[in-house]
Amino acid sequence: METDNATLEMINWDALECSMRPEPLDESAYYSISNCHDPAAAHGMIRRCMDLHIWMMHVPENEEDFELYARKMSSTFGVTAGYVRAAVFGIMRLAELPETNAVFRRLCHLDIDRLIGINNTLDKLGPVPDIAMMQRIDCELAEYLTPKRRNQRMPSRRAITNFLNELIALEDSSLSNENTRPRLRYTINYSGKRAFIELETGAEAGAVIDKCIKELAERTGTSMAKAAIALLSGEEDPKAKLILNLYQAKTDNAPVFIPEIGWLEPEQAEEMLQRIANSRDMDDAATAETAAYSPSDSIRSAVVGLDGTCRWPGCDAPAHRCQTDHRHNHADGGPTSAWNLASLCQHHHNIKTDRRAFYIMDPFTRVIFWLFADGSWESTVPSGPMSEGKKRWAQTVAQANQARRRNARLFAQMDIGEPEIEEVIVDVEEGEPPF
C-alpha cells in the first residue's frame, strides 16, 4: 500500500477490514506517531490499529473460562499467558474511563503496551474505586493524552504511568500512606574485608542526607562514598546551608512538589511546609535575568519547575539533574533568564553542542521545536510543576482536597460513620435536606 505521498485519510481501512481507524488529522495539534505526512508514522499507525483491532476482536465473553482463553491465545499469538491477561484487562479498563476512551477512539494513539501500563497502575485503586475520584482521574488522563502542538512527542508508557501515580498519590492518600509510609531500618553485613551498609528512611530525610553527602563531596573534591564515610564517622560536618526546593501553586490546599521526591500527599506537604525557612516567588524568578552566564539559584529553580525533565523528545531525566542550556548563546548576547534557558541532560546537551540537532523555544509557552540533521522535526511540551498543565491540575487537586476536608469536618460534626455520611451527601446533592 502506497503511503509515501498519501495521508491516512487515503488509506483504505475497509480493505484492511480494520475496525480501529483514526479520525482525519487535525493539523493544528497532533502526535508525531499520528503524522500522516511521515510514511513511517503512517505505517506505524496501520500496524497499531491492526494490532488493536485483532485484540479487540478476541476479547473473551464474560462467561468464558479465562484461564483456558489465555492458554489458547497465548499459543495462537505466540505470547505468554500473562501478557494475554494484561492486554485484555488493559482493553477492558477503557470502559471505566469514558473520557480517555473517547480520545483513544478518536486518535488510536494508545498501543497495547500503554493500555497495559494504564491498567496496571489503576489496579492499585482496588476492585471498586471511588466513582468521583475515577472521574477526575479519567478527565485528567484524557487531557494529558490529547496533543497540544503539531508533531508533539507521544508520552511513553513510563511517562503515562508516572503521571497516573502522581494523580493517585494525591487522590488517595490512604493508599499512598500504605505504599510510602517511611520505614526506618539500618543494616550492616560483612563479607570478608568488605562491609555493606543499608539505610532505609523516608524520602524527605533521604533527600536531605543526599544533599549533605553531595555538598561535602563537592567542597572537599572527594567521592560520594568517602564523603558519606566522613559524615557518618564524625570526621566532617555539613557546613553549607542545605536548600530543598518545594513547589506549590498560589492556591489554598494546592499540592506540593519536591524535585527529588515528587508530589507529596496532603499530610506530608503540611509537615514540609511548616519547616520552610523562606520562600521565593517563582513567577518573579521566571522573568528575572542576570548578566552572569550561570543562572542564579532562583532562576535555575524556575527552569526546573517549568521543564520537569530534559526537554529532548522522549527523555525523562529529571530537570534538577540537567544542565541549563542557553537557547540563544550567552556569548552572542543571549540573556540568562528562564525564557532563554532549557533543561538538557548531559547526553542530549552534547548532541545539541555537536550541532546534530537544533531547537527553537517559544518563550511564553516553553514549547520546544527540535530540528534534526536528517530534516525531521518534533515538538515537546514542559511538564514541571510550574508548567501550565500542572498548574491547572494542581488547582483541581486543591479543590478536591478542600472538598475532602469539608466532608471530614461534616463527619465529625454529625458523629456518624462514613457509609452513613455518603448517603447524606448524596441526598444533599439531590436537593433533599439530610436533617
The C-alpha atoms of residue 255 and residue 109 are separated, in whole angstroms, by: 30
What is the number of residues in the chain? 435
pLDDT digits (tens, 9 = 90+) for 101-147: 999 999 999 999 999 999 999 998 988 888 988 999 999 999 999 99
Identify which has the larger pLDDT, 331 or 250.
Answer: 331
- Measuring CA to CA, which residue among 336, 305, 337 is closest to residue 318? 305
Could you tell me the residue ranges of all domains in the chain?
8-179, 185-233, 247-279+387-429, 282-380
Cα–Cα distances in angstroms (integers) from residue 112 to residues 39, 53, 55, 145, 221, in the given order: 22, 11, 9, 15, 48
Q: Which one has a higher pLDDT value, 240 or 358?
A: 358
18 band by pLDDT with thresholds 50, 70 and 90: confident
SS (H, E, C) 17-62: CCCCCCCCCCCCCCEHHHCCCCHHHHHHHHHHHHHHHHHHHCCCCC
Q: In the prediction, which pLDDT does 61 show?
A: 86
pLDDT higher at 412 or 255: 255
Range 18-24 average pLDDT:
88
The Cβ of residue 17 has, within 10 Å, a number of other Cβ atoms equal to 9
Task: Check: pTM over 0.85? Answer yes or no.
Answer: no
The neighbour count for residue 132, using CB atoms within 10 Å, is: 11
Give pLDDT, residue 426.
38
178's CB contacts (< 8 A; 6+ apart) are none
The span from the CA of 186 to the CA of 232, in Å, is 13
Tell me the percentage of the chain whose pLDDT exceeds 90.
55
> What is the C-alpha separation between 14 and 273, in angstroms, rounded?
58
**What pLDDT, in 10s, does the model give residues 235-285?**
988 876 667 788 887 776 677 888 877 777 667 777 777 777 777 888 889
- Residue 17 or 7, more confident: 17
User: Is the pLDDT reported for residue 221 higher than 70?
Assistant: yes
